[in-house]
Amino acid sequence: MSQALSVAVLVVAAGRGTRAGGGVPKQWRRLGPCRVIDHALATFAAQPGLGPLMVVLHPDDMAMPLPDGVLRVAGGATRDASVRAGLDALAAFAPARVLIHDAARPLVSGAVIARVLAALERAPGAAPAVEVTDALWRGDAGHVTGTQDRTGLYRAQTPQGFRFDAILAAHRAHDGPAPDDVAVARAAGLAVAIVEGDEDNLKITREGDFARAARLMGQDMDIRTGNGYDVHRFGPGDHVWLCGVRVPHDRALQGHSDADVGMHAVTDAIYGALARGDIGQHFPPSDPQWKGAASHIFLDHACALARELGFTITHADCTLVCEYPKIGPHSIEMRAEMARIMGMDIDRVSVKATTSERLGFTGRGEGIAALATATLVRA
């Protein structure tokens, strides 16, 4: 088996999360620029050597959009049943190890993941935890009734990592509920090493946790903005490609590819935010394989590169500058197509048009220009 498939990741997102409020399960609520679950998925996707990445979903959520390449499986009525369903589905990939993570922990760090993986080199199981340092009370009816010795007590976190075959067998043999996968592993006699957790790796449970998570995200959030600009001249033809839509016109745009000036500008805006050059560097016009190529290939590449580097594209805005053709009748379709390609909600993609008041080459009807801005966030 290849190294890329040696460590699978299973994100558990089948719960209903009603205590957090908001009208929808907490994993689907927005936290900053994206949903709670998206933060954890981006962090795991950015770690080298992990895959496949699978999410366990409630049966009612199976149509929820997930990033490209993320697998999905329906969960069960309890957490342990959902994990078992996920492990059964992952068995086809025969991973050596697996990391099991709660979708409600959006701020998991690469450092915590690395510590769990390092511990798995010497133990069949490993999990992050934070040592309890506060005084512990027992209480009843709102009054303190006693104290509890905190010696040797830890607050458990995820991801919890295991040798895959061992935890799969443990879950298949387990009868009854379990608070987490460490409990299932220990019931099967597996040793579980404790690694240093992270106070920021909180589990969102109640409404107030969203505000705390947002504050923590703001401390080290990486927000990037990139700009793109492109121009193509008119030539013979009967249509133009603009933002992925074929628009009838008495002339066509000329270029090495399909000359989709809007899509090129957005693509360059993403490359710019990543500080990774421009389309010409990734797809040289001197290379004949790109002659006549559909521009979605370029945009796909830029979006994939953003995800690979741990970024979420939160917004894209494109302005087309031309006298003709008229963009208004096609703008909704353009936004929808761009959103589809980029894996975004349509309300985060803007396509609009303006004229240059008959000034310059666009005003003379010699071609079309496009300007674009893209915003990327890595939490």
- What is the H or E stretch that residue 332 is in? helix 331-342
Q: Are residues 248 and 296 in the same domain?
A: yes
Cα dihedral 192/196/202/203 (nearest 10) = 0
Distances (CA, A) of 171 to 74, 100, 177: 16, 13, 11
Q: Are residues 202 and 67 in the same domain?
A: yes
DSSP state of 300: H
Question: CB-based contacts of 158: which residues, under 8 Å, 6+ apart?
Answer: 100, 101, 102, 105, 108, 127, 128, 180
**Could you read off the pLDDT of 54-106 as tens digits, one per residue?**
999 999 999 999 998 999 999 999 999 999 999 999 999 999 999 999 999 99
CA atoms of 311 and 377, how far apart (whole Å): 5
Q: Are residues 189 and 259 in the same domain?
A: no
The reported pLDDT for the residue numbered 199 is 95
3 state DSSP class of 335: helix
Q: Are residues 67 and 191 in the same domain?
A: yes
Cis-peptide, bond into residue 25, ω within 30° of zero: no
CA atoms of 4 and 48, how far apart (whole Å): 8
The number of beta carbons lying within 10 Å of the beta carbon of residue 377 is 22
Q: What is the pLDDT along the chain (379 residues), one digit of tens a residue?
A: 333 349 999 999 999 866 666 678 999 998 887 899 999 999 999 898 999 999 999 999 999 999 989 999 999 999 999 999 999 999 999 999 999 999 999 999 999 999 999 999 999 999 999 999 999 999 999 999 999 999 999 999 999 999 999 999 999 999 888 999 999 999 999 999 999 999 999 999 999 999 899 888 875 668 899 999 999 999 999 999 999 999 999 999 998 899 999 999 999 999 999 999 999 999 998 888 888 899 999 999 999 999 988 899 999 999 999 999 999 999 999 999 999 999 999 999 999 999 999 999 999 999 999 999 999 987 6
Q: Are residues 186 and 323 in the same domain?
A: no
Q: Are residues 109 and 151 in the same domain?
A: yes
User: Of 173, 200, 220, which marks where a domain is finished?
Assistant: 220
Q: Are residues 368 and 254 in the same domain?
A: yes
Paired sense of beta strands 192-196 and 125-131, if any: parallel
Q: Are residues 133 and 166 in the same domain?
A: yes
**Could you read off the pLDDT of 169-200 as tens digits, one per residue?**
999 999 888 999 999 999 999 999 999 999 99
CATH number at residue 345: 3.30.1330.50
Q: Are residues 298 and 179 in the same domain?
A: no
| Tally of structural domains, the chain | 2
The reported pLDDT for the residue numbered 222 is 82
User: Of 167, 193, 220, which marks where a domain is finished?
Assistant: 220
Q: Are residues 115 and 242 in the same domain?
A: no
Q: Are residues 160 and 23 in the same domain?
A: yes
The reported pLDDT for the residue numbered 226 is 97
Q: Are residues 216 and 234 in the same domain?
A: no
pTM: 0.62
CATH number at residue 74: 3.90.550.10
User: Of 165, 191, 220, which marks where a domain is finished?
Assistant: 220
The answer to whether 104 and 17 are in contact (CB under 8 A) is: yes
Q: What are 151's two structure tokens?
A: 């010696």
Domain span including residue 356: 222-378
